[in-house]
């Protein structure tokens, strides 16, 4: 949920919906998130390059915002 919160605070449009593996392979960029990993960029799926094969600006910004938010919550 932190990813959704930081994206909203940064006025980034977010759409949550199911997608197919083929749709994912067509993405300009992608990331995966979990409790253990903030926002880990995905550069390929089943050998198919995502975008230009490098983490994109949205993925990098989400990861940065997530880490900042986590640090603020952890601060005494």
Count of structural domains, the chain = 1
The model's pTM: 0.76
pLDDT in tens, 9-38: 899 998 889 999 999 999 999 999 887 777
Reading the block at residue 33, the tokens are 């998130």
Q: How many CA atoms lie less than 13 Å away from 59 in the CB half-sphere?
A: 19
Closest of 20, 17, 39, 18 to residue 30, by C-alpha: 39
pLDDT in tens, 32-70: 988 777 788 999 999 999 999 999 999 999 989 988 887
CB 42 within 8 A of CB 25: no
CATH of the domain at 62: 3.20.10.10
């Amino acid at each position: 949920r932190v990813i959704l919160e930081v994206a909203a605070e940064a006025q980034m449009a977010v759409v949550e919906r199911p997608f197919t593996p083929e749709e994912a392979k067509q993405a300009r960029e992608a990331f995966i998130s979990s409790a253990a990993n903030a926002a880990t960029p995905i550069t390929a799926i089943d050998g198919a390059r995502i975008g230009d094969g490098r983490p994109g600006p949205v993925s990098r910004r989400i990861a940065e915002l997530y880490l900042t938010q986590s640090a603020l919550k952890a601060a005494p």
